[in-house]
Amino acid sequence: MTTALITGSTSGIGAAFARRLAADGHNLVLVARDTKRLRDQATELHDRHGIEAEVLTADLATDDGIETVAARLGDRKNAVDLLINNAGFGNKGRYLEVPMADELMMLKVHCEAVLRLTSAATEAMRERGRGGVVNVASVAAFVPRGTYGASKAWVVQFTQGVAKDLAGSGVRLMALCPGFVRTEFHQRAGMGTDNIPNWMWLDADKVVAEAVNDLARGRSLSIPDPRYKALMGAAKLVPRPLLGAISSRTGRKYGPR
């Protein structure tokens, strides 16, 4: 039986990945900061699907937290076959309105943690000749959205670059770029969502279902839902200054996830 490790597993897209992978018969390593929520989640998934669910409490905004998860990914005796780098958050406010400490924390979680955990996982996977990594980004990666969008653009470029470097090794990598998903993301960031049309909202379980299918197809980039595929295609045709103006009114305050 294969094992998947999911960061930010207790809510939103991470929880949807946990439900889907457990239903598919994968054992899980569940990673988040809240030990009680992790234990409750592990118990529920074990009881419902009969899989083993390991709890790993870690804060990926800290070196110790990243190192804890990296060490688990590098454990050759208890191999992780699939890594879902999902942990992330948003900051409310425009550039210079957000404290520098919060901006740096975002880069730590979205970029440094993704780099270090992907490296730990793929090194072990390449030795075995198989494995997969899904790095959760956002459609914000394709439009000007301050630090959030910039960090997610880094995730996309990094993931696709590594996918090319490891082609033929048996290790697959994919960047997942959803739009607005009904999760705790915006509430935790203190962001309002009243100005977002209903048609733009996605269901987390459907996002994950499409991501799983795209990974199986060997794609290095997944943009779930035809609506967002069309929007991102149209965004390529919009002049950058106009796109930046639109984003400055909505994007930084309401980052998709």
Reported as a single tens digit per residue, the pLDDT across 24-72 is: 999 999 999 999 999 999 999 999 999 999 999 999 999 999 999 999 9
CB 120 within 8 A of CB 41: no
Q: Where do we find the tokens 């992978």?
A: 21
d(CA 80, CA 251): 35
Three-state DSSP state, 220: coil
Domain ranges of the chain: 3-250
Q: What is the pLDDT of residue 92?
A: 85
* Active-site residue (options: 95, 148, 228, 254): 148
Q: Helices 35-49 and 12-23 sit at what angle, rounded to 10 degrees?
A: 30
The 10s digit of each residue's pLDDT in 180-209 is 887 655 455 444 556 676 767 899 999 999
Backbone φ and ψ of 190, nearest 5°: 75, 30
Q: What is the pLDDT of residue 227?
A: 85
What is the percent of the chain where pLDDT is above 90?
A: 74
The 10s digit of each residue's pLDDT in 96-140 is 999 999 999 999 999 999 999 999 999 999 999 999 999 999 999
Q: Where do we find the tokens 């653009």?
A: 153
- What is the residue-averaged pLDDT of the chain? 89
Q: Does domain 3-250 have CATH number 3.40.309.10?
A: no
CB 30 within 8 A of CB 56: yes
Catalytic residue check, 254: no
Question: Is pLDDT at 9 greater than 60 in this prediction?
Answer: yes
The 10s digit of each residue's pLDDT in 131-174 is 999 999 999 999 877 999 999 999 999 999 999 999 999 999 99
Q: What is the pLDDT of residue 183?
A: 61
d(CA 135, CA 198): 26
Closest CA to 13 of 159, 134, 102, 106: 134
Question: Is pLDDT at 254 greater than 50 in this prediction?
Answer: no
The 10s digit of each residue's pLDDT in 204-229 is 999 999 999 999 999 999 999 888 88
